[in-house]
Structure 1
């Protein structure tokens, strides 16, 4: 009873109505409107997994996730089981539903990493043979087709012949007796063909009068010439109906024979549609999936920027005020939160928002808050919110609250287990307690204006006693109050926490922001004075309140100011971080641009050198041809020699400047090891083999002089070692450094189409050319993306070879490409 009242108080039905608008089928909408929280954590986790997987499908599938053709065939299945004959429309709905569910199952089977949906559709049977038989016998309008029965086709052929004879006979009468007719047309009354005859000339067309116009000026007469044909046609029509009914009876019997399987198909379609509605509603809310925390692991409740879903709907559809989000972070030891602050400040909305967030997580909906969304799984969510005053039951506000709170306490007592069994099979410490020893149940209790509606002193005392009781018996209690005495509970018991709704002293209006750790201060006297109440009255009231209350208000005001200052500094730090990130992006872009320009300049220089060489060769060849063509005398040879020297001076570059003396590393010098991309310190001088000991970090190692350089890039001088007369064996080449996988040489193409993947792959190859290797994550799936990637790599000029990665690095879901 109290749980149903809680759903009503939290306006759960409104949220379900909003959810139903995202359903694709009638059954899905009905299931959404009647959505009830599950009874176990396992059910909630299963529902949440369904929503996550459908959400994933919605984002991945380019063809769309559609429920086209799926209809509510429940009543038709019931009639078939009771041996009623289904109509053509009912049979057609069954066929389209089977086709629609089969299409959904194929989409699910083609995807990976959706085990919950795969399990959901694994055992359903969609009977394609029944669907085909229905489509063979029933057309798109729901009528039985001629091909359904040879006898039916023959009957319809006879009926058509009779109808043609009737039309021909009537057409002849119309031509002969056109002046006696009101209009020259053939019509029907009931199932008989008639002519509209003018009443004064009814004797001109002998026959049976079946109807008359409202004025009596027109009589609808069936001529005697077609009465016999009409009777025969009616006989054939009855036979046609009987034969069509026989066809539908056979199909109905086939449906009744597999009714349990068809009901299972319908149930699966409904669950899929409900999960789809949850995913689409969550996407519309910009919500995130919750994680159920374990209270025994001392995890905190985290709901940052939490928005009330009904207010979001109201803002989006009714252009109401923007929704102010709240942040709820509750430490694991906290059992009771007392929220204080002015009226209309958002205290009640905070309770409803938290209650709805807990309910949404239980039914598998995402929660409209920023990640991470972490909250416990509450077995019960119990609330006392709003004014329960009732004139009919002679209940005051106080009496109404007390009755509901009593039912809440009874519900907690009924669900409290006397002991708990540990996971290792033995009883834990609770089993050793006395039976009456209290311990909290997995319940969330929401109390609005606790202790209100009666004498303040007694109401405050009652509220303190009640909150202490709930701290022992409920996992979490959140209560709103105006009583200042409740603010002090935090300093007496570590299980209590204070929170308040912020109030703007300048505008005399609430900001609807929730402040944690700071109790709300009384604003009644301030507001009264700002609104024009005589200062004498306000001053007298302040003296009656007492100085201690004013001191407390000043302390709270100071805390609020300090909090606002910290929030301002946090915003400034965040802005500075964003500016730094933008600057980093700009510097990175400029660096890439400079690298591109350097590459283009290098290519241009290489091309210029090639052109110069080609030109020099051409000039030399021309000189040689002239020398060969003329007389071979010394004068001509000297001219040729001078020409070659001139060509040499023009094209051969000037000798480079004399190189600087090589770097001589000394003990204590800082050097670089390019192949390891490390900076190290020299510990020992180089020995006769050209090796020295260096240290980088906590590691020492011996390296060759050929492997080091100075911090300015100078290569180390390698002394020439005297060689023996005999030819020494060549030194073994050091093994190449194995490539290291990083973010820069790794690309994730999962979920991409082959055409899009080729564009991304081209960009990744150009970026990874320096490292010489590229890891390509394409997933396993159907194998189409992997085949497309391999085909692209085979024809790419910069790819030397490629192979599938080792099993530890992804196996057949990852390809490693080695670049030239």
Structure 2
């Protein structure tokens, strides 16, 4: 990276944005990678990074949860030391095991999802070595110590250590009991790896042994009795053996790690790349940003409602002022944009916002602007922003700008005049071009620089106070004007960027509103010249027209929103009506099906009654009457349509039976007959034998049947006895519900004459009673149910009344 490229990143505060990005990383490695993020050298690499960001963004939204990086840590130093023959500790080995498990979990989640080809390709070649992970967890405890499970030899040594330690404890406890007067405190302690007793200094001769330490006052001596010295030596030997065996185990695990060091380094790099993609995705989501699309040289740059990401951070985390978005739309033929306007009006912030947006796109980060976000992929982004001076070289502001411009030109065209390159796909950002020297010379130099950059760079955006630069647009179609808006009433900038209109000079207006004497203002106007004032008035008129157009656009947008809302409400109501109609049809169908089912049940009951009784004419007539009642109750009432055709005297009618057309001479409504003539023949025919010439039939009225002369009186209804007999009683205790249903069916047929059935099912758990009730309630011959009185069995007996 060249010096001017590094300076550009510093001027645009790119490293500050990277610091913000690092807070969204899940691992330490990801945070470090975000802080020192390298910008891609090719457009393809930027597209790859953007694809990673988009897939993580979609994946986390689809899963409605965040990807977890639990267990993944920086194991780079451990891998390097293992490769150099060093010995890894238990905790370092555990970190490697949890990292393997964490990456395996991420890979499984990615492989299970659809439509994320870039992420799948990223993790496709990752090896997570589950066998190494299992060996580590088998040999290493959670606290990092080597486990007894690691080897039989280690388990045996630790068993010996336990036995020797218990022997030492028993001997020391015996000594404390026998020599309690000489013991300062009844406790066994250690000095180094030796077990000792706290003995009072005057009574030290009572306990012979080796003095290992004394208290600060000298009143207590810590003595290892001679009787446990030999066992203490054994214990030391066992501990040394334990240490050697632990090192053997750790060495074996370390060698396994060293053998697959390259694979684990690749795994760590993939985890870091994935974490960096997650950080870019979450930062983009936090910014409410959208993915950019890289365009070619024939398409316009479009960045609508673009916000400065660092100001957004300041607004949310440091209670800064609300960020004012800008609109950037540059035609493909434009090579230079000159932004004019007052100081502190937002010109420099505009340059930094555009510069950061291009850097974010290159790095694979979404841009905080509205869709569509379209801009070129700039190979180089070069900036000269600010009034930086070099005190060491005693350089003025002007000299500092010129030196930086020299470095920009060298980056565009080569390090020397002899070395030339074709016009670069570069973005050049210049703040106050030509400032810091005589206005006339500075203006001429700025004009020359911008014309040169129009030939050498894809796009140059420059801020200036020189009015002469505003006229370049009308001399060269590759130039465009823009300005930062200024409120004449409040004497403050609005920080909005206006395209196509140069900024007007506000110095005299501001001075007058601030109270400078009018005669001084008028004198100044005469010295400026009327032409300059005319230009300011023209610009003011253009600004007013722009405001009017923006107001109309806002009103049109509001009207469009109301129209869309009205359309949505109408659509919602229409959908609700359609759903209601659908529900009503469904309800009607359910009612029809219910009526059909009920009619079928009643008909089945009539059929069973016929089958169970004697086949007599009287019973058949009863069944017919019952079916007629069912039909009248269940079928919809048919309304007789009005008679559509009646013959009239003198009308021509057709007699289909004779194949003749006749004339109506007379008709009788009572007998429903008509007298007709065809040819020389006259005859009387019923209404049913004629039809109109267009085929309409004469509809006749249905005549009531005559009542029988001596109707038979209906038989008196039978009263159902309530006396329980063997014919109307069934005992199903101990049966299953499925078995009981067949028995109940037979009992109902048997008890039909009595009209009542007693079902003894017992109390028990109540499941049999519930099943019996459900079966009887569905049965067509059962009118109702009730539990028997207490003296007849209570809840253990059910009485079913039959039809």
State the TM-score, normalized to the length of structure 1. Answer: 0.72
Distance 1:154 1:389 in 2: 75
Q: What's the CA shift for 1:278?
A: 1.1
Alignment correspondent of 2:565? 582
Indicate how the Cα distance of structure 1 residues 185 and 594 shifts in structure 2: closer, same or farther if over 3 A, else same.
Answer: same
Distance 1:602 1:6 in 2: 71
Which secondary structure state, in structure 1, belongs to the residue aligned with residue 414 of structure 2?
helix
Question: What pairs with 1:778-797 in structure 2 (closer than 5 Å)?
Answer: none
Q: What's the CA shift for 1:540?
A: 1.9
Distance 2:590 2:145 in 1: 78
Alignment correspondent of 1:125? 127
Indicate how the Cα distance of structure 1 residues 538 and 86 shifts in structure 2: closer, same or farther if over 3 A, else same.
Answer: same
Query: Do the aligned residues in 2 keep the contact of 1:340 with 1:519 (CA within 8 Å)?
Result: yes
Distance 2:475 2:303 in 1: 26
Q: What's the CA shift for 1:583?
A: 1.4
Q: What's the CA shift for 1:658?
A: 8.4
Residue 409 (str. 1) matches residue 409 (str. 2): yes
1:757-782 per-position Cα deviation (integer Å, ceiling 9, x unaligned):
xxxxxxxxxxxxxxxxxxxxxxxxxx
Question: What pairs with 1:559-578 in structure 2 (closer than 5 Å)?
Answer: 559-578=542-561
Distance 1:618 1:262 in 2: 79
Distance 2:483 2:593 in 1: 78
Q: What's the CA shift for 1:125?
A: 2.0
Query: Do the aligned residues in 2 keep the contact of 1:337 with 1:477 (CA within 8 Å)?
Result: yes
Alignment correspondent of 1:206? 208
Report which stretch shifted further, 221-230 or 354-363.
221-230
Residue 494 (str. 1) matches residue 496 (str. 2): no
Indicate how the Cα distance of structure 1 residues 164 and 499 shifts in structure 2: closer, same or farther if over 3 A, else same.
Answer: same
Query: Do the aligned residues in 1 keep the contact of 2:5 with 2:382 (CA within 8 Å)?
Result: yes
Indicate how the Cα distance of structure 1 residues 340 and 653 shifts in structure 2: closer, same or farther if over 3 A, else same.
Answer: same
Distance 2:218 2:335 in 1: 87
Which secondary structure state, in structure 2, belongs to the residue aligned with residue 194 of structure 1?
strand
Indicate how the Cα distance of structure 1 residues 654 and 451 shifts in structure 2: closer, same or farther if over 3 A, else same.
Answer: same
Which secondary structure state, in structure 1, belongs to the residue aligned with residue 68 of structure 2?
coil
Distance 1:488 1:562 in 2: 20
Alignment correspondent of 1:362? 362
Alignment correspondent of 2:63? 61
Alignment correspondent of 2:304? 304
Residue 652 (str. 1) matches residue 654 (str. 2): no
Question: What pairs with 1:288-367 in structure 2 (closer than 5 Å)?
Answer: 288-295=290-297, 298-367=298-367
Question: What pairs with 1:359-758 in structure 2 (closer than 5 Å)?
Answer: 359-414=359-414, 440-602=423-585, 652-656=637-641
Distance 1:27 1:417 in 2: 44
Query: Do the aligned residues in 1 keep the contact of 2:413 with 2:422 (CA within 8 Å)?
Result: no
Q: What's the CA shift for 1:597?
A: 3.9
Q: What's the CA shift for 1:402?
A: 0.5
Alignment correspondent of 2:252? 250
Query: Do the aligned residues in 2 keep the contact of 1:307 with 1:353 (CA within 8 Å)?
Result: yes
Alignment correspondent of 1:282? 284
Distance 1:322 1:580 in 2: 30
Alignment correspondent of 1:43? 45
Report which stretch shifted further, 260-269 or 173-182.
173-182
1:505-559 per-position Cα deviation (integer Å, ceiling 9, x unaligned):
1111111111111111111222222223222322222222121122111111111
Q: What's the CA shift for 1:52?
A: 1.6
1:707-747 per-position Cα deviation (integer Å, ceiling 9, x unaligned):
xxxxxxxxxxxx999xxxxxxxxxxxxxxxxxxxxxxxxxx
Query: Do the aligned residues in 1 keep the contact of 2:410 with 2:416 (CA within 8 Å)?
Result: no
Q: What's the CA shift for 1:323?
A: 1.1
Question: What pairs with 1:19-98 in structure 2 (closer than 5 Å)?
Answer: 19-62=21-64, 64-98=66-100
Residue 153 (str. 1) matches residue 155 (str. 2): yes
Alignment correspondent of 1:707? none
Query: Do the aligned residues in 2 keep the contact of 1:291 with 1:375 (CA within 8 Å)?
Result: yes
How many residue pairs are counted as aligned between the two chains?
634
Distance 1:243 1:616 in 2: 87
Query: Do the aligned residues in 2 keep the contact of 1:612 with 1:651 (CA within 8 Å)?
Result: no
Indicate how the Cα distance of structure 1 residues 182 and 612 shifts in structure 2: closer, same or farther if over 3 A, else same.
Answer: closer
Distance 2:118 2:38 in 1: 20
Q: What's the CA shift for 1:161?
A: 0.8
Q: What's the CA shift for 1:356?
A: 0.8
Query: Do the aligned residues in 1 keep the contact of 2:306 with 2:327 (CA within 8 Å)?
Result: yes
1:549-577 per-position Cα deviation (integer Å, ceiling 9, x unaligned):
22111111111121111111111111111
Distance 1:653 1:617 in 2: 23
Which secondary structure state, in structure 1, belongs to the residue aligned with residue 476 of structure 2?
coil
Which secondary structure state, in structure 2, belongs to the residue aligned with residue 337 of structure 1?
strand
Distance 2:25 2:7 in 1: 26
5+ long unaligned stretches in structure 2: 646-692, 696-803
Alignment correspondent of 2:782? none
Indicate how the Cα distance of structure 1 residues 616 and 113 shifts in structure 2: closer, same or farther if over 3 A, else same.
Answer: closer
Q: What's the CA shift for 1:121?
A: 1.8
Report which stretch shifted further, 443-452 or 578-587.
578-587
Q: CA RMSD in A?
A: 3.4
Query: Do the aligned residues in 2 keep the contact of 1:439 with 1:472 (CA within 8 Å)?
Result: no
1:346-404 per-position Cα deviation (integer Å, ceiling 9, x unaligned):
11111111111111111111111111111101110000011122332211110101100
Q: Which has the larger radius of gyration?
A: 2
Query: Do the aligned residues in 2 keep the contact of 1:47 with 1:363 (CA within 8 Å)?
Result: yes
Distance 2:591 2:135 in 1: 77
Distance 2:592 2:6 in 1: 87
Task: Indicate which of 150, 172, 175 corresponds to 2:177.
Answer: 175
Task: Indicate which of 193, 197, 213 corresponds to 1:195.
Answer: 197
Distance 1:74 1:616 in 2: 81
Q: What's the CA shift for 1:15?
A: 0.8
Which secondary structure state, in structure 2, belongs to the residue aligned with residue 35 of structure 1?
coil
Indicate how the Cα distance of structure 1 residues 411 and 603 shifts in structure 2: closer, same or farther if over 3 A, else same.
Answer: closer
Residue 111 (str. 1) matches residue 127 (str. 2): no
Query: Do the aligned residues in 1 keep the contact of 2:378 with 2:425 (CA within 8 Å)?
Result: yes
1:282-322 per-position Cα deviation (integer Å, ceiling 9, x unaligned):
11111111111011xx1010111111111111111111111
Indicate how the Cα distance of structure 1 residues 493 and 720 shifts in structure 2: closer, same or farther if over 3 A, else same.
Answer: farther
Which secondary structure state, in structure 2, belongs to the residue aligned with residue 47 of structure 1?
helix
Q: What's the CA shift for 1:410?
A: 0.8
Indicate how the Cα distance of structure 1 residues 51 and 63 shifts in structure 2: closer, same or farther if over 3 A, else same.
Answer: closer
Residue 15 (str. 1) matches residue 17 (str. 2): yes
Q: What's the CA shift for 1:237?
A: 0.8
Alignment correspondent of 1:232? 234
Query: Do the aligned residues in 2 keep the contact of 1:440 with 1:471 (CA within 8 Å)?
Result: no
5+ long unaligned stretches in structure 1: 419-434, 661-718, 722-820
Distance 2:87 2:586 in 1: 82
Query: Do the aligned residues in 1 keep the contact of 2:304 with 2:328 (CA within 8 Å)?
Result: yes
Distance 1:106 1:632 in 2: 81
Distance 2:601 2:27 in 1: 81
Query: Do the aligned residues in 2 keep the contact of 1:79 with 1:85 (CA within 8 Å)?
Result: yes
Distance 2:586 2:90 in 1: 75
Report which stretch shifted further, 328-337 or 157-166.
157-166
Indicate how the Cα distance of structure 1 residues 40 and 659 shifts in structure 2: closer, same or farther if over 3 A, else same.
Answer: farther
Query: Do the aligned residues in 2 keep the contact of 1:616 with 1:647 (CA within 8 Å)?
Result: no
Distance 1:336 1:4 in 2: 23
Query: Do the aligned residues in 2 keep the contact of 1:291 with 1:373 (CA within 8 Å)?
Result: yes
Indicate how the Cα distance of structure 1 residues 194 and 339 shifts in structure 2: closer, same or farther if over 3 A, else same.
Answer: same
Indicate how the Cα distance of structure 1 residues 604 and 12 shifts in structure 2: closer, same or farther if over 3 A, else same.
Answer: closer
Report which stretch shifted further, 176-185 or 1-10.
176-185
